[in-house]
């Protein structure tokens, strides 16, 4: 029987870009008004290299969150060679920290300070393994010789497989996976490996971006793949499999930076993210697994308690705005101008 409403444990977004300055003020409300926690990415213009910088950034974010909200930003450091044992101990012992993010150099926005030789970070991986600190990975190689659409697969086969062999106890999240190959790799890996999936990789394939006029607002990294990849991601998310959970990778860029000669990668999906996802689970007759994907699997993997609040979702038609912000600061959200059939409300 068709359900007209569901109530779930308040969800978390285990991968988000909140930026800094005035753009943060514009976007953060889309997240704090729904989610209990979000794992905040450290790829600011000046990357977050040290715990002290992460704490300052967290204070800035908290200053934008109303007192009535229970939202907690969970911080990450940008993997860099100056990370010390003490830094890792701080991350390990504070619930305000979620891990260290590995950006291969040159793969995406603000990754120029990223990793070139991953083996030179084995000292840090060893400490992370010892202190139970999670490594979040942007899983793509940036070699010019590797085709854009194969970069995730080559990373998994050459780099990730080696890291897993060398550090079998290291907790790893392969972020924003995009391919059937990634789904299979994570399914077959040990329980300390898991993966996040974005809404845009569940809803779109590369044809949507390339075949009916170029859609710059669907351009992201890792790039959208084939239909069979989208189906593999959808099937595993809809199944509620415990190793896969929501990390939106919502990544705001101003319209001029997206619609340009050299457009930035990133989809702004935070606007009505949870409503878009519940509609996706509903359309695929999988509402019973929705809470696992958005509220339970991630908390279980990160070993934190479920949020205390509940989110009530009900069938009711709303329109996603054509843009957010104003003429000076305009961002085009995912599914801009389209209708969805669900709304949400936090309840105690």
The closest residue (CB) to Zn ion is: 249
User: CA–CA separation, 162 vs 306, rounded Å?
Assistant: 33
User: CA–CA separation, 54 vs 315, rounded Å?
Assistant: 39
Instruction: CB nearer to Zn ion: give 12 or 249.
Output: 249
Instruction: CB nearer to ligand DOR: give 41 or 313.
Output: 41
Q: What is the binding site for ligand DOR (CB under 6 A)?
A: 17, 43, 108-109, 138, 220-221, 249, 251, 265-266
One of 12, 30, 229, 249 is an active-site residue; which one? Answer: 249
Least Å distance between CB 248 and Zn ion?
A: 9
Least Å distance between CB 269 and ligand DOR?
A: 10
The yes or no reply on residue 30 touching Zn ion (CB under 5 A) is no
Instruction: CB nearer to ligand DOR: give 172 or 313.
Output: 172
User: Which does residue 277 touch among Zn ion, ligand DOR, none (CB within 5 to 8 A, set by kind)?
Assistant: none
Least Å distance between CB 221 and Zn ion?
A: 8
Instruction: CB nearer to Zn ion: give 41 or 274.
Output: 41
| Residue 76, strand partner residues | 99
Q: Which two tokens stand for residue 26?
A: 């514009």
User: Which does residue 265 touch among ligand DOR, Zn ion, none (CB within 5 to 8 A, set by kind)?
Assistant: ligand DOR
Least Å distance between CB 38 and ligand DOR?
A: 14
Least Å distance between CB 16 and ligand DOR?
A: 10
Nearest to 71 by CA among 60, 82, 62: 62
Instruction: CB nearer to ligand DOR: give 17 or 171.
Output: 17
The yes or no reply on residue 140 touching Zn ion (CB under 5 A) is no
Q: Which two tokens stand for residue 166?
A: 């060398």
Instruction: CB nearer to ligand DOR: give 108 or 134.
Output: 108
Q: Is 150 a catalytic residue?
A: no
Least Å distance between CB 43 and ligand DOR?
A: 5
The yes or no reply on residue 152 touching Zn ion (CB under 5 A) is no
Nearest to 65 by CA among 27, 112, 100: 27
Nearest to 9 by CA among 330, 280, 335, 308: 308
Task: Give the number of other Cβ atoms within 10 Å of residue 189's Cβ.
Answer: 19
Least Å distance between CB 261 and ligand DOR?
A: 17
User: Which does residue 109 touch among Zn ion, ligand DOR, none (CB within 5 to 8 A, set by kind)?
Assistant: ligand DOR
Q: Which of 140, 205, 249, 282 binds Zn ion (CB under 5 A)?
A: 249
User: Which does residue 220 touch among Zn ion, ligand DOR, none (CB within 5 to 8 A, set by kind)?
Assistant: ligand DOR
User: Which does residue 142 touch among Zn ion, ligand DOR, none (CB within 5 to 8 A, set by kind)?
Assistant: none
User: Which does residue 241 touch among Zn ion, ligand DOR, none (CB within 5 to 8 A, set by kind)?
Assistant: none
Instruction: CB nearer to ligand DOR: give 108 or 179.
Output: 108
User: Which does residue 266 touch among Zn ion, ligand DOR, none (CB within 5 to 8 A, set by kind)?
Assistant: ligand DOR
Q: Please return the burial class of 262, using the count of CB atoms within 10 Å of its CB with bins 0-12, 13-18 and 19+.
A: exposed
The yes or no reply on residue 12 touching Zn ion (CB under 5 A) is no
The yes or no reply on residue 291 touching Zn ion (CB under 5 A) is no
Residues in contact with 245: Cβ distance below 8 Å, sequence separation at least 6, in sequence order: 14, 194, 195, 196, 197, 292, 293, 294, 297, 298, 301
* Binding site residues, Zn ion, CB under 5 A: 249
Enzyme catalytic residues: 249
């Amino acid at each position: 029987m068709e359900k007209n409403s569901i109530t779930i444990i308040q969800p978390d977004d285990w991968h988000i870009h909140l930026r800094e300055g005035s753009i943060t003020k514009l976007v953060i409300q889309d997240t704090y008004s729904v989610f209990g926690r979000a794992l905040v990415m450290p790829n600011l213009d000046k990357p977050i290299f040290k715990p002290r910088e992460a704490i300052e950034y967290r204070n800035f974010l908290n200053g934008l969150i109303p007192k009535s909200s229970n939202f907690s930003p969970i911080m990450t450091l940008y993997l860099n060679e100056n990370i010390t044992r003490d830094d890792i101990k701080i991350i390990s012992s504070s619930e305000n920290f979620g891990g260290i993010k590995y950006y291969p150099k040159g793969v995406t926005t603000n990754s120029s300070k990223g990793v070139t030789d991953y083996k030179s970070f084995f000292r840090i991986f060893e400490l992370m393994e010892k202190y139970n600190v999670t490594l979040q990975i942007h899983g793509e190689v940036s070699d010019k010789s590797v085709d854009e659409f194969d970069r995730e697969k080559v990373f998994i086969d050459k780099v990730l497989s080696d890291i897993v062999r060398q550090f079998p106890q290291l907790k790893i999240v392969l972020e924003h996976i995009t391919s059937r190959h990634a789904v299979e790799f994570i399914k077959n890996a040990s329980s300390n490996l898991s993966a996040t999936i974005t809404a845009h990789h569940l809803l779109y394939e590369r044809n949507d971006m390339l075949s009916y006029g170029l859609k710059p607002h669907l351009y992201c990294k890792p790039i959208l793949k084939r239909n069979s990849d989208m189906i593999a991601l959808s099937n595993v998310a809809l199944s509620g499999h415990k190793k896969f959970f929501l990390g939106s990778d919502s990544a705001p860029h101003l319209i001029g930076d997206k619609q340009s000669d050299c457009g930035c990668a990133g989809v702004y999906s935070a606007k009505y993210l949870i409503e878009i996802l519940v509609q996706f689970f509903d359309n695929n007759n999988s509402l019973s697994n929705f809470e696992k994907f958005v509220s339970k699997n991630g908390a279980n993997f990160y070993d934190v308690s479920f949020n205390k609040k509940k989110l009530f979702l009900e069938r009711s038609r709303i329109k996603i705005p054509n843009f957010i912000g104003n003429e000076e600061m305009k961002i085009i959200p995912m599914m801009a101008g389209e209708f969805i059939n669900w709304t949400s409300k936090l309840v105690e």
